[in-house]
């Protein structure tokens, strides 16, 4: 009988059966690991037949067998759509079943107004002990009770919790800001492996830490809106229960820092990034109660700044002068040159400065090179009334700082040249480069950027 009839062929002189493809000779456990490398790296897998893992089940029977017996492939899912589909619940059930004992990660969002994902949450709730990376975007303040109950039962595997919201709640008819005080309690006291927390307070949630110390939490983000106040008590309660935190951000929020009750001064030895976006309110009493010895980045976005920057100055002073990135915006009506100097003197290692104080005022402070000798970049706001010659003097003096200044009466001790200045506002770049001092620096490689589309450093 011929080899063709037997289903054999020649490969490198050896008889090989046509049904014995290389794929069949790969051990299932190796093939399973290869399959895991097919999962997306920039997000969780989607229930899409043209993407892994569903795609792997359609290639051949052996691939399908291995894929279905690889729970790691089904341990995460992303359902992000404009509107709900009937098959979403079926897909989620299939994913949960195939994931076996593995931890579960999921991202769930229906973007259309009024859409809710309650049915999907109800399917996942019995498996809360396996939740690992959770991102859920609820409609308005509709956080279903079974989500809250699932968290209360314990989420020992949970590492990342991201609760977001869509939908808006208008201001009261008279234009005042409603203050929510009786929100739903989200119990995180049993999530001892939490590393990151992101909470959108439009959901009207309050975090319940109980007596737990969540010493693995490294990052906390509070997201608020102009009609939802975040109170100092809540911020301090969170920071107190997360003593190893490295980054805290409260963004787009109305901050009520007045009269924080039962709050004691707090030292956070690992906190490096502190971001406070207080569109409304008064966050400054919060600064007075914090000691941040590892602070590297401080960002304050606020409608107003204190008259003499004292709260900021004292915070930077207590934090030991390690800060490298400083951003401050606010009404600068009462800010004087000596106030800015007092602030910058607390940041001798500063590399990047951004502020919306008058460009001429900042240039006046920085042209002497007495503070922040290591400044590499500056972002400022300006208008047509700005003294451009003063700006030129500042850039020139900072660009030509020598690398070693032994014997200098200003004691820079080896500063670095200013590398970049970004100007936001109505000044054309051509007007700046007409200043001889600036033109000379630009000719030698200094980077000058002008963004006329932004009225301030924050757009």
Q: Give the count of beta carbons closer than 10 Å to the beta carbon of residue 197.
A: 24
pLDDT > 80? residue 227: no
From 96-110, 323-337, 409-423, the region with the lowest mean pLDDT: 409-423
pLDDT > 60? residue 165: yes
- Tell me what the mean pLDDT of segment 374-380 comes to: 93
Contact 279, 253 (CB under 8 A): yes
* pLDDT value at residue 425: 80
Closest-CA residue to 342 (of 305, 372, 381)? 372
Q: Is 186 helix (H, G, I), strand (E, B) or coil?
A: strand
The position carrying tokens 């950027």 is 449
Element of type H or E holding 421? strand 420-425
Closest-CA residue to 213 (of 186, 250, 246, 245)? 245
* pLDDT value at residue 255: 78
Q: Which of 37-46, 228-237, 379-388 has the highest mean pLDDT?
A: 37-46
- Tell me what the mean pLDDT of segment 202-208 comes to: 79
Q: What is the pTM of this model?
A: 0.85
Contact 208, 187 (CB under 8 A): yes
Query: Angle of helix 359-366 relative to helix 337-344, nearest 10 degrees?
Result: 60
* pLDDT value at residue 181: 40
75 versus 251: the higher-pLDDT residue is: 75
Task: Sort strands 8-11 and 14-17 into parallel, antiparallel or unpaired.
Answer: antiparallel
410 versus 431: the higher-pLDDT residue is: 431
User: 446 pLDDT band (50/70/90 cuts)?
Assistant: very high
Closest-CA residue to 394 (of 412, 414, 371)? 371
pLDDT > 50? residue 183: yes
Residue spans per domain, the chain: 23-74
Query: Angle of helix 388-399 relative to helix 359-366, nearest 10 degrees?
Result: 40
């Amino acid at each position: 009988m011929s080899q063709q009839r037997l289903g054999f062929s020649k490969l490198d002189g050896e008889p090989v059966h046509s049904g014995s493809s290389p794929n069949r000779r790969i051990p299932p456990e190796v093939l399973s690991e290869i399959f895991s490398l097919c999962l997306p790296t920039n997000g969780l897998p989607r229930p899409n037949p043209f993407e892994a893992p569903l795609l792997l089940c359609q290639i051949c029977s052996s691939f399908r067998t291995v894929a279905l017996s690889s729970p790691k492939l089904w341990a995460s899912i992303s359902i992000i759509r404009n509107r709900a589909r009937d098959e979403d619940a079926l897909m989620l059930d299939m994913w949960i079943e195939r994931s076996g004992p593995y931890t579960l990660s999921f991202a769930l969002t229906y973007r259309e107004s009024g859409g809710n994902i309650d049915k999907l949450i109800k399917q996942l709730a019995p498996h809360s002990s396996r939740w690992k990376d959770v991102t859920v975007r609820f409609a308005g303040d509709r956080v279903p009770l079974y989500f809250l109950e699932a968290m209360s039962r314990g989420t020992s595997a949970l590492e990342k919790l991201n609760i977001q919201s869509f939908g808006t709640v208008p201001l009261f008819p008279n234009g005042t800001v409603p203050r929510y005080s009786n929100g739903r309690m989200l119990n995180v006291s049993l999530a001892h492996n939490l590393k990151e927390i992101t909470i959108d307070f439009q959901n009207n949630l309050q975090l319940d830490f109980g007596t737990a110390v969540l010493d693995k939490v490294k990052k906390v983000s509070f997201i608020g809106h102009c009609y939802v106040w975040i109170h100092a008590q809540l911020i301090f309660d969170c920071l107190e229960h997360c003593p190893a935190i490295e980054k805290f951000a409260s963004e787009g929020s109305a901050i009520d820092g007045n009269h924080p009750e039962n709050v004691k001064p707090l030292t956070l030895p690992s906190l490096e990034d502190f971001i406070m976006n207080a569109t409304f309110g008064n966050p400054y009493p919060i600064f007075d109660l914090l000691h941040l010895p590892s602070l590297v980045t401080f960002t304050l976005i606020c409608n107003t700044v204190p008259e003499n920057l004292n709260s900021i100055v004292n915070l930077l002073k207590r934090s030991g002068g390690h800060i490298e990135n400083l951003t401050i915006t606010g009404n600068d009506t009462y800010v004087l040159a000596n106030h800015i100097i007092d602030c910058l003197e607390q940041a001798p290692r500063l590399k990047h400065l951004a502020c919306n104080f008058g460009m001429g005022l900042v240039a006046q402070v920085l042209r002497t090179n007495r503070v922040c000798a290591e400044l590499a970049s500056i972002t400022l706001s300006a208008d047509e009334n700005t003294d451009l010659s003063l700006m030129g003097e500042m850039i020139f003096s900072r660009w030509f700082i020598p690398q070693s200044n032994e014997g200098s009466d200003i004691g820079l001790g080896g500063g670095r040249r200013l590398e970049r200045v970004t100007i936001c506002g109505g000044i054309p770049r051509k007007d700046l480069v007409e200043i001889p001092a600036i033109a000379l620096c630009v000719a030698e490689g200094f980077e000058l950027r002008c963004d006329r589309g932004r009225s301030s450093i924050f757009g």
